[in-house]
Amino acid sequence: MTGQWQEIGASGGIEAYVHHPDGEVRGAVVVCAELYGVNAYVRGICAELAALGYVALAPDFYWRDARRTELGYSAEEREAGLVLMRALDRNQLVADATDALAAAREAAGVHGVAFLGTSMGGHIAVRAATELRFELAAVFYPGWMLNSGFPLVGPVPPLETADRIAANGVFLLGFNGDQDHILPLDEWKAVEEKLTEAGVAHELVTYPGAGHGFAADRADGHDAAATADAWRRIHRALADRL
């Protein structure tokens, strides 16, 4: 089966690109995109998850300003993505994540739900974990965990309320490179400390030599070994927790 767009909230509201498995459903994964929107890379992740038996839903978080955004990696397209990202509102994101979780719960049946996100999407997945109950958040190089400054984050960054992640019972599995310029190593270590202090069940993995975006399919900065290891860990976590 191929993926398709469908509404996951109120009529005329948020849509998601949804990919169902051909056979038995083992759970559902909400795939939160980086700033480039639900592009071929994200749809490919959905297809791979569906091949493993998970219903994959990639919400269009930009829907209020530009529907079904699909950007490439040129400088111009990155700037377009930054404009859209800066227009996102924290409370609207939580509302959209709530709709996505409800759709995922319905699709998962008796199984669990994970949120999976890269960069901006990693931030969204962690924010969702502070507000919603689900089984697993798997995040690649999530931004703005400890600092705020624009509407996407809101006045309080996610890990200032990390105790809510613990209360919601979400296991957090995170990946970052020690050469990441957006989430540098000292900040990544501070993330670990915050999670530990708050009693969040978690595993954070650091890849030597890897930079921001190492898991993406674009040539610049891709680290095949780190990406393969991260996905092995995600597959295991999905099987264990969903």
User: Which H helix or E strand runs over 166?
Assistant: helix 162-168
pLDDT along the chain (242 residues), means of 10: 91 97 96 97 97 98 97 95 96 97 98 98 98 98 90 94 98 97 95 98 98 88 96 98 98
Q: What is the pLDDT of residue 220?
A: 79
Q: What is the pLDDT of residue 218?
A: 82
C-beta of residue 38 within 8 angstroms of C-beta of residue 10: no
Phi, psi of 130 (to 5 degrees): -80, -15
Residue 111 pLDDT: 98
In this prediction, residue 226 carries a pLDDT of: 97
pLDDT at residue 149, rounded to an integer: 74
pLDDT at res. 217: 82
pTM of the model: 0.97
pLDDT at 192: 97
**What SS3 state is found at 167?**
helix
| pLDDT reported for residue 2 | 82
Which domains, from first to last, does the chain contain? Answer: 4-241 (3.40.50.1820)
